[in-house]
Structure 1
């Protein structure tokens, strides 16, 4: 019995130490400022992002079905008012096709706007994983935008899959309700929770795998994404209670929808970054080998190079100061016009 108690105490201490290290690392990266930045970019990226995502899914299941799905999800996560405002945003984003030059410019602007939020999120993920790019030039910027656009396509594909799974789930529950209505309700709730969990975990796994410039194993990725998904679902319930009870955007009148979007994205990013830090700390504890990509390097390498350059500069300044101190007359002569 004492041995079991000792193991439980040791595991509790290890867990507390792990969470403490995770929180300290999360706090050092200034997550509130990073979340605010991404919330700002999300506000401007949202119309373009949603238009591209809905266009991808609409090619298979129709525009009305996709927009209805997005409306329902946003209404569930945030509020019906925000869902209605975002639905109007999607309908207001159009491509001008008077001529091919205008069309190309419109498409480029649409893609640039849609990738903004993932482009910024990639930078934050690199900070969390303590890596930095070797070269930051126009070519690398285009590649990063392409990676961010890949996340947009992944989001569109996952929306399509989620819609199909939901339709199949509704058909199954309607069929089972003919035999056991009460049991079917519980069964449907459990299935919907599992579908939501798998969808969110898959999205986070894609973000952890695609966005940061590191080579990460699938085991670490899946575990980190699963923990982050659980934290997200818990946070979703808490945010729902907070929004419904305190109504934080009520004082903003017509801008209430914008405020709610900013608040929801801000809080969601805080959860996402904490989940990413858990993934990093887990990799450290388990000694998983995670290395930078070919075009990136560890951030401390760049810091060490800067320190070495600083040391060289200090040595040069010290040498010059000694020369001036031992040759004051020569310095005065050189200084005379």
Structure 2
């Protein structure tokens, strides 16, 4: 029992050390700017991502029902006003699809916008991990990056479908066996935590031009998902119940979306720093891909003004 306690204290000390060192590294990279720029672009990319998911998964599932479930999820986390604003944007996008060639060109444009968001995220993680892509990587490299981004978006859609399926099973069991509402809420958050950990693990492993060890990626993703889940609960209670719409009017709905994505980006990038810190401290370095290399910034002293 004593040895288990000592091991637990030792692991806890290591964890707090990793968290502190990761935050120090995070502060050096101007995290507010990184999260704010991601939130700004993601606000425009979010409807595009939803349309891409609806087009891709509409070939296998009921498109209307799948889209309705996505909007319900957004309503739970962002409030009905913000979800209605996104719904209105989606309707405007689909209203433009009058002919087949406009539909095709529009989908290609939305595909470009949605994958560009993940290119921005990839570049940010590369910065946090001190990784750069070699000059003139070639057209094939950029196509691969777009395809990889689309794969991560598709994975997110698949995990969303699994969430909807599990929540449907939970609601059925709750009605059938009369589970307490608090237990249902706990199961909801547990499902979300599991899905978020899975998506973060794969994103941290493949989205950037560095490859952390799977074990490091999973541990860092679990920590990130816990922070994300706790923050989601707090933001849901604070932002949705606030009177921000009364202050900013109709723009308050979009502002709520930006604030939510800003926090999500902030936590995600901190998780990336946490993974880098773990990799360095445990002597399991992040390996770069073939078209990338590691760099180091050094302060040059003694130069005259």
TM over 0.5: yes
Q: Point out the structure with the larger helix share.
A: 1
Number of the residue aligned with 1:81? 81
Aligned to 1:171: 172
Q: Are 1:229 and 2:230 counterparts? A: no
May I ask how many residue pairs the two structures share in their alignment?
298
- 1-side partners of 2:205 and 2:45: how far apart? 22
Unaligned runs of 5+ in 2: none
Shift of 1:18: 2.9
Distance 2:273 2:21 in 1: 9
CA distance in 1, matches of 2:227, 2:150: 26
1:141 aligns with 142
Of 225-234 and 71-80, the range deviating more from structure 2: 71-80
Q: Determine whether 1:158 maps to 2:143.
A: no
- Cα pair distance change 1:56/1:170, threshold 3 Å: farther
Q: What secondary structure is seen at the aligned counterpart in 2 of 1:61?
A: coil
2:284 corresponds to: 288
* Distance in structure 2 (CA, Å) of the matches to 1:96 and 1:190: 41
Show the counterpart of 1:251: 247
Measure, in 1, the Cα distance between the counterparts of 2:61 and 2:236: 30
User: Does structure 1 retain, via aligned residues, the 8 Å contact 2:26–2:273?
Assistant: yes
- 1:220 is aligned to 216
Give structure 1 stretches of 5+ with no counterpart: 308-313, 315-337
**Kept in 2: contact 1:128–1:276 (CA 8 A):** yes
Partner Cα separation in structure 2 for residue 10 and residue 208 of structure 1: 26
Q: Which residue of 2 aligns with 1:239?
A: 235
Q: Paired residue for 1:310?
A: none
Compute the RMSD of aligned alpha carbons.
2.9
Describe the superposition over 1:271-298 as per-residue Cα deviations: whole angstroms up to 9, x where unpaired: 1111121111112222113210111100
111 and 138 in structure 1: CA distance in 2 versus 1, 3 angstrom threshold: farther
Task: State the partner residue of 1:261.
Answer: 257
Say whether the 8 Å CA contact 1:22–1:278 is kept in structure 2: yes
Out of 273-282 and 8-17, give the one that drifted further.
8-17
Distance 1:109 1:8, change over 3 A: closer
Find the aligned partners of 1:251 and 1:109 in 2 and give their Cα distance.
34
Q: What SS is found at the alignment partner of 1:135?
A: coil
1:61 is displaced (CA, Å) by: 3.1
CA distance in 2, matches of 1:18, 1:151: 27
1:191, distance to aligned residue in structure 2 (A): 2.4
Structure 2 CA distance for aligned equivalents of residues 286 and 137 of structure 1: 31
Per the normalisation by structure 1, the TM-score is: 0.79
Give the drift of 1:170. 2.4
